């Protein structure tokens, strides 16, 4: 069995962290890594002990929820709280960082940002990263590699579709089933 790549491993960690998010608008996770070791993680949510969006709704001002702390900042604050340096570290985040997170990432000394999904990518964030020499790389999570039975499921689906075809099902119906199977196995 082939091992998962480092990028996929750390991106999967960020997606796992995002599952702890208390934001109802967008679930985001961030993982800070140095020398192939996880040094911190964060997700977007309210301050410790505070009201959460999932309980009280978002507190939106000028189109932004001000109740939440973004995942990137939560991860950086975790490092600060426990005295873990971030100089020359890397960050894996589920979504492209906002302008405020971009500034915090740059100030923390992080040198590479890997993100899975584009999300309102602001040109100023891109400009700031470029000027600061922070490398930004899109690494989408290949969710199928996390499924240890993926190959068996693909084979089983192909066999079922083949049997349906041999049983005389209409080609148009088979095409729709095939397209739906492809959509299920490749959606992220």
Instruction: Give the 3-state secondary structure of 80-142.
Output: HHHCCCCCCCEEEEEECCCHHHHHHHHHHCCCEEEEEECCCCCHHHHHHHHHHCCEEEECCCC
In the predicted structure, residue 89 carries a pLDDT above the cut 70: yes
Nearest to 8 by CA among 96, 101, 114, 111: 114
Residue 72 designated active-site: yes
The pTM of the full predicted model, rounded to 2 decimals, is 0.79
CB atoms within 10 A of CB 29: 28
Q: Which residue is catalytic, options 2, 62, 72, 170? A: 72
* Residue where the block lists tokens 């604050």: 77
Write out pLDDT tens, residues 126-174: 999 999 999 999 998 887 666 556 566 666 777 777 777 788 878 788 7
């Amino acid at each position: 069995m082939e091992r998962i790549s480092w990028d996929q491993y750390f991106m999967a960690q960020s997606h796992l962290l995002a599952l702890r998010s208390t934001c109802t608008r967008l679930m985001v996770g961030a993982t800070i890594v140095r020398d192939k070791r996880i040094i911190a993680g964060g997700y977007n949510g309210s301050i410790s002990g505070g009201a959460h969006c999932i309980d009280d709704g978002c507190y939106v001002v000028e189109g932004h929820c001000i109740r939440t702390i973004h995942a990137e900042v939560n991860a950086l604050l975790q490092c600060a709280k426990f005295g873990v340096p971030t100089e020359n570290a890397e960050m894996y985040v589920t979504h492209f960082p906002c302008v405020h997170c971009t500034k915090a990432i740059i100030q923390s000394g992080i040198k590479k940002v890997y993100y899975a999904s584009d999300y309102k990518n602001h040109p100023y964030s891109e400009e700031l990263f470029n000027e600061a020499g922070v490398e930004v790389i899109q690494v989408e999570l290949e969710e199928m590699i996390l499924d240890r039975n993926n190959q068996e499921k693909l084979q089983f689906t192909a066999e079922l579709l083949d049997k349906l075809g041999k049983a005389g099902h209409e080609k148009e119906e088979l095409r729709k089933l095939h397209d739906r199977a492809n959509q299920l196995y490749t959606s992220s």
